Amino acid sequence: MSLKGKHALITGSSRGIGRGIALKLAEQGAKIAVHYFQNEKAANATLAEIRKRGSDGFTLQADVTRVEDVSKIFAGVKREFGKLDIFVANARPEAPQFFAPPMEITLEQWDAASDSQSKGFLVSLREAAALMPSGGRIIAITYHGGSRTGGLLPWVAMGSAKAAMESLVRYFAVALARRGITVNAISPGWVEDTVLNSLPGEVQEMIRKWHQRGWTPMGRLGTPEDIGNVVAMFCSEQSAWITGQIICADGGSSLMNPDMPTEMQM
């Protein structure tokens, strides 16, 4: 599969899942707009890795919780690339900006989640579509489990924002279908080298052991490369008939029954 001649924008691509996606698309020949918020050094490192893979691109800084910054991202893409073939909405605020339970969360924390995901994604969809020819691909990185459950209480703002994002995927899939542009969402589950690694060591170990013991049937957590592979698949010409879908790329963990011990399911 080749993406030569294609231009991609991945928000939050200086590290983690976003970097994994950027590098995989670069391997396929796409030029990459590397977006970051604060870590310019990491963004430049991602761009250097893109160039090692025989592709090219540029970096751009913006705060995705600010609508005017979101528009600035696409203005930069138009200036540098002239068009856009692939847009991956991956960026989100750091956990302290939104991570609080329902009875304690502030409106500022709620807005950080909503503005970066649902409102920011709405603006991004319109801006991206304006730059896309037929065959364009729009992909949202979501967390489907968090948008339909309620157990992880401090996820209330982000879970609600991701649920709205998933709804937008379906509406815009219909709105853009006649133009040959697909809109889908990918739900990764737990992935190494992401927010997981910012948690206390004992919490990380508990999560890994839980998944290795059977909650993920494949016996491990995901990697940024795993998610990059899924995105690359959806960017291929062969995926043109798939739109408006939420794909769980999680090694099968979303298939497990929460009502029964994992030892009884494997």
Q: What is the CATH number of the domain that holds 240?
A: 3.40.50.720
Query: Residue 255: inside a domain, yes or no?
Result: no
CA distance 198 to 38: 16
Query: Residue 211: inside a domain, yes or no?
Result: no
What is the model's pLDDT at position 216? 86
Query: Residue 260: inside a domain, yes or no?
Result: no
- Low-confidence spans in the chain with pLDDT less than 70: 144, 146-147, 199, 266
Q: Across the chain, how many H-helices and E-strands are there? A: 9, 7
The SS3 call for residue 256 is coil
Mean pLDDT of all residues in the chain? 92
CB atoms within 10 A of CB 166: 22
Residue-wise pLDDT for 164-207, tens only, equals: 999 999 999 999 999 999 999 999 988 887 777 776 788 788 88
* pTM, rounded to two decimals: 0.94
**Which residues form the domain of 74?**
7-196+224-250
Query: Residue 56: inside a domain, yes or no?
Result: yes
Helix (H) or strand (E) holding 17, with range, is helix 16-27
CA distance 245 to 182: 10
Query: Residue 180: inside a domain, yes or no?
Result: yes
Query: Residue 60: inside a domain, yes or no?
Result: yes
For the chain, how many structural domains are there in total?
1
Query: Residue 42: inside a domain, yes or no?
Result: yes
Query: Residue 2: inside a domain, yes or no?
Result: no
The SS3 call for residue 69 is helix
What is the model's pLDDT at position 266? 66
Q: Are 125 and 170 in contact (CB under 8 A)?
A: no
φ and ψ at 17, to 5 degrees? -60, -40
DSSP label at 214? I
Q: Are 242 and 184 in contact (CB under 8 A)?
A: yes
Residue-wise pLDDT for 219-249, tens only, equals: 888 999 999 999 999 999 999 999 999 999 9
